[in-house]
Amino acid sequence: MNLLIMGLPGAGKGTQADFIVEKYGIPHISTGDIFRAAIKQQTPLGVKAQGYIDQGELVPDDVTCGIVEERLQQPDTKAGYLLDGFPRTIVQAEQLEKMTQKLNKPLDAVLNVDVDPETLVERLSGRFICKNCGATYHKLYKKTRVEGTCDVCGGHAFYQRSDDKPETVKNRLEVNLKMNTPLIDFYSQRNLLHTVNGNQPIADVTQEINQVLSDLH
């Protein structure tokens, strides 16, 4: 299954992606994760991307498209893939359409996680991440089972993403709000769009997504 999950920053794309990739055994391709790994290692890509991400701006289309095209050619995408956070502009969407046609891996569906913009600041400011395994939690909505201990790996150290500080969050939301409607139109014109209500508790959003995906078969 070839899927895309889209939504504003903090909508819950990464959270829902974890369930989808586990259920369908497909790789999770998150451009945000790819950039953060590159920044951590200070590769040439990371050095280039860091300035944009720290400002809450988008990394230029040519850089981002190149990475995805390369990633979609890896053998683990044979059974499908889940794109998360790409495309984010119409140029990227057009490029993706071209590359997936060329690779014979066209999208089967686009999941649009729709959340009221007012709740996103709270989602992002309460997010914390396990330093060891990258599992994502929220101080109100997704706590660890034992306080201070990661449910997944048992680690005890957590961090906040540097772009989750209030000044950056404001710009991220503005930048992404501008791009969101044209992208929704792009995929609804192609009859690929499935909008799910992301304002519900995490498990209810998962259930709605599962319903959409099982109806695709």
| Binding residue (CB under 5 A) for Zn ion from 90, 152, 184, 192 | 152
Rounded CA-CA distance 99/103 in Å is: 6
Smallest separation, CB 136 to ligand AP5 (Å): 5
Stretch 124-163 residues interacting with ligand AP5 (CB under 6 A):
124, 126-127, 136-138, 141-142, 163
Instruction: Write out the DSSP string of 71-123.
Output: HTTSGGGTT-EEEES---SHHHHHHHHHHHHHTT---SEEEEEE--HHHHHHH
| Binding residue (CB under 5 A) for Zn ion from 153, 157, 177, 216 | 153
Catalytic (active site) residue 172: yes
Question: Which residue, 2, 6, 39, is CA-closest to 194?
Answer: 6
127 is in an annotated binding site: yes
Report the run of H or E that residue 209 belongs to, with start and end: helix 202-216
Is there a contact between 16 and 209 (Cβ–Cβ < 8 Å)? yes
Which residue's CB is nearer to ligand AP5, number 32 or number 109?
32
81 is a site residue for ligand AP5 (CB under 6 A): no
24 is a site residue for ligand AP5 (CB under 6 A): no
149 is in an annotated binding site: no
Question: Which of the listed partners (Zn ion, ligand AP5, none) does 210 bind, with a CB threshold of 5 to 8 Å by partner kind?
Answer: none
Question: Which of the listed partners (Zn ion, ligand AP5, none) does 21 bind, with a CB threshold of 5 to 8 Å by partner kind?
Answer: none
48-79 b/e (C-beta count within 10 Å ≥ 16 → b): ebbebbeebebbebeebbebbbebbeeeebee
Question: Which of the listed partners (ligand AP5, Zn ion, none) does 133 bind, with a CB threshold of 5 to 8 Å by partner kind?
Answer: Zn ion
Catalytic (active site) residue 88: yes
Smallest separation, CB 20 to ligand AP5 (Å): 12
Going from the C-alpha of 89 to that of each of 94, 108, 122, the distances in angstroms are 9, 19, 25
| Binding residue (CB under 5 A) for Zn ion from 155, 161, 192, 200 | 155
Residues 6+ apart with CB under 8 A from 17: 5, 28, 30, 82, 84
- Please identify every residue annotated as catalytic: 13, 88, 127, 161, 172
Contact residues for ligand AP5, defined by CB under 6 A: 7, 9-15, 30-32, 35, 52-53, 56-59, 64, 85-88, 92, 123-124, 126-127, 136-138, 141-142, 163, 172, 198, 201-202, 205
